[in-house]
Amino acid sequence: MRAIFGLVSLLVVIGIIYLIFIKVEAPTIDAGQKAKDEARQISGRGDDGKAAIDSFQTQPKMRGSTLDALTVTAVTPGGALAQYGLQKGDEITQVNGMKVGDLSVNDPETAKAMVVQNGFQAMAPVVVMRDGKQITLPDKAGAASGTPAPASPNTVQNQLKNLGIQTK
């Protein structure tokens, strides 16, 4: 009989420890994972650890000597920009409220780098034309939306501050 009471009390103590763990430690683990994911994105890397700039290929769409858009010719499955919502055939027209030609002084390679730096890394909106519809990425709703409101210029600095990283 004593052994049964001892076993039951041991199981109750284990159950209490488990409940304390779920209430206290599990949210800390979730917050740490979220911070890790945000830091990975800010550093310009995908979930696969590869650089975001290497996860897609583009061709310039010029209007005269002006860069009108970047046409996406390839997207690495599971890569950083694929997870952001970019698809083959998309035409990138704006990044964080600025036209790609204005953002890059009409240089296609600079425009591609700005898609990564000012869009993906800054977690800012990237506007694409897909099947004749204007879509803002990341497309969390799964539907087409209008032109995005520009993000705050201090978006990256605020995110770094939230992660406890000091900036100048």
**What residue segments make up the domains of the chain, in order of their start?**
52-159
pTM for the structure as a whole: 0.65
Residue 150 has pLDDT above 60, yes or no: no
- Cα separation, 123 vs 136, in Å, equals 12
Closest to 146 (Cα-Cα) out of 130, 133, 162: 133
Q: What pLDDT digit, counting tens, does each position of 31-55 carry?
A: 888 888 888 888 889 888 899 999 9
What spatial distance separates the first Cα and last Cα of the chain, rounded to whole Å?
68
Residue 151 has pLDDT above 80, yes or no: no
Instruction: Taking the CA atoms of 30, 50, 81 and 89 in sequence, report the sign of the dihedral they define.
Output: negative
Q: Which two tokens mark 89?
A: 């055939």
Cis peptide before 138 (omega within 30 of 0): yes
**52-159 to CATH, choices 2.60.40.10, 3.40.50.2300, 1.10.8.350, 2.30.42.10:** 2.30.42.10
Residue 66: beta bridge partners?
63
pLDDT band at 82 (very low <50, low <70, confident <90, very high): very high
